[in-house]
């Protein structure tokens, strides 16, 4: 491709909303740890849901960061496959980010023709599914960006929270956006004076209303209750989460954290009695 055509394509690629344009820095994460967590997410998702596709998309980007372009492409193919399985005929909006990633990967593989093919696909999708306003993005883009930022690095939690808020403005009942918002609020919230003041607790409860068997949300809510000394409620939630997903490493890690904290509370209580 001539240099001016290359520049035109690169300029168009930079306007896309996808992992390659979201400012994700290799130095902000531990790639090996992130890849292990993403692979665990894919293995744990026994029922078909969007999270598998998102995991493969992020995994694809990590492979790109390591210079493994063919593996990046292969993971994007898996992402597209899972998104199509989950959404069927209504998958186009959900594929906007994936198509953008494909365009970037093929560009870096010097396959400009295939990169342009995905740019053309994106143009067609955007014509058929325009956002509510020219300045807004599709909620699927806000949501997937939030998920990506949340998983990629703790440095991006604040930005992830804003993405979920924007997605929920359009799709307030979406379980994934509600769960993502709950996770991000849990991460960024400092201890407040009461349960009633806690946006994280409010959102964790809201998510459980929509998804009553979400064990990860359940155990996080339990940890939050423990902070405010609602130990009975906390223990009930934590034990229920462990019953639901006893082999989920995320659940078991948080359960272990809960019981470690509980032991510390008891030790401090005994010490306070001793020094009186």
Which range, 40-44, 51-55, 206-210, has the best average confidence (pLDDT)?
A: 206-210
pLDDT of residue 275: 39
Q: Is the pLDDT of residue 267 over 60?
A: no
pLDDT digits (tens, 9 = 90+) for 209-227: 999 999 999 999 999 999 8
At 191, the pLDDT band (50, 70, 90 cuts) reads confident
Structure tokens at 111: 């396959």
Same fold, 3-130 and 189-275: yes
Helix 215-227 × helix 249-275 angle, to 10°: 10
Q: List Cβ neighbours of 97 (8 Å cut-off, separation of 6 or more).
A: 17, 18, 19, 57, 140, 141, 144, 145
At 204, the pLDDT band (50, 70, 90 cuts) reads very high
Q: Is the pLDDT of residue 272 over 50?
A: no
Specify whether the backbone of 89 is left (phi greater than 0), alpha (psi in -120 to 50) or beta.
alpha
Helix 69-87 × helix 96-108 angle, to 10°: 160
pLDDT digits (tens, 9 = 90+) for 98-127: 999 999 999 999 999 999 999 999 999 989
Q: Is the pLDDT of residue 269 over 60?
A: no
For 106-129, the DSSP string reads HHHTT-HHHHHHHHHHHHHHHHHS
| H or E stretch covering 104 | helix 96-108
At 43, the pLDDT band (50, 70, 90 cuts) reads low
Domain boundaries, the chain: 3-130, 189-275
pLDDT of residue 270: 31
pLDDT of residue 268: 34
Please state the pTM of the whole predicted model. Answer: 0.89
Residue percentage of the chain with pLDDT more than 90: 69
pLDDT digits (tens, 9 = 90+) for 123-146: 999 899 887 777 778 999 999 999
At 47, the pLDDT band (50, 70, 90 cuts) reads low
Q: Is the pLDDT of residue 246 over 60?
A: yes
Class of the 3-130 domain? mainly alpha
Q: How far apart are CA 238 and CA 68, in angstroms?
A: 40
Q: How far apart are CA 10 and CA 112, in angstroms?
A: 10
Higher model confidence: residue 151 or residue 4?
151
pLDDT digits (tens, 9 = 90+) for 69-99: 999 999 999 999 999 988 877 789 999 999 9
HEC profile of 198-245: CHHHHHHHHHHHHCCCCHHHHHHHHHHHHHCCCHHHHHHHHHHHHHHC
Q: How far apart are CA 160 and CA 47, in angstroms?
A: 25
Q: How far apart are CA 28 and CA 199, in angstroms?
A: 27
Q: How far apart are CA 60 and CA 155, in angstroms?
A: 21
CATH annotation of 189-275: 1.25.40.10
Average pLDDT, the chain: 89
Residue percentage of the chain with pLDDT more than 70: 91
Specify whether the CB–CB gap between 219 and 254 falls below 8 A. Answer: yes
């Amino acid at each position: 491709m001539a240099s001016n055509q290359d520049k035109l394509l690169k300029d168009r690629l930079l306007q896309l909303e996808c992992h390659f344009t979201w400012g994700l820095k290799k130095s902000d994460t531990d790639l090996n740890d992130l890849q292990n967590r993403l692979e665990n997410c894919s293995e744990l998702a026994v029922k078909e849901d969007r999270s598998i596709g998102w995991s493969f998309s992020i995994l694809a980007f990590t492979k790109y960061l390591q210079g493994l372009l063919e593996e990046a492409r292969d993971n994007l193919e898996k992402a597209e496959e899972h998104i199509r399985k989950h959404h069927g005929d209504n998958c186009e909006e959900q594929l906007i980010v994936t198509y953008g990633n494909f365009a970037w990967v093929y560009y870096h593989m010097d396959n400009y023709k295939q990169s342009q093919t995905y740019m053309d696909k994106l143009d067609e999708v955007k014509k058929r599914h325009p956002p509510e306003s020219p300045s807004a993005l599709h909620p699927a883009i806000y949501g997937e960006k939030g998920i990506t930022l949340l998983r990629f690095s703790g440095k991006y939690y604040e930005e992830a929270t804003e993405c979920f808020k924007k997605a929920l403005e359009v799709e307030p009942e979406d379980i994934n956006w509600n769960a993502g918002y709950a996770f991000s609020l849990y991460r960024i919230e400092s201890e407040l004076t009461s349960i009633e003041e806690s946006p994280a607790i409010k959102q964790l409860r809201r998510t459980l209303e929509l998804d009553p068997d979400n064990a990860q949300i359940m155990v996080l809510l339990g940890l939050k209750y423990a902070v405010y000394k609602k130990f009975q409620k906390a223990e009930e939630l934590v034990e229920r989460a462990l019953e639901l997903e006893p082999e989920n490493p995320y659940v078991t890690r948080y359960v272990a954290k809960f019981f470690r904290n509980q032991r510390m509370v008891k030790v401090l209580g005994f010490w306070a009695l001793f020094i009186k």
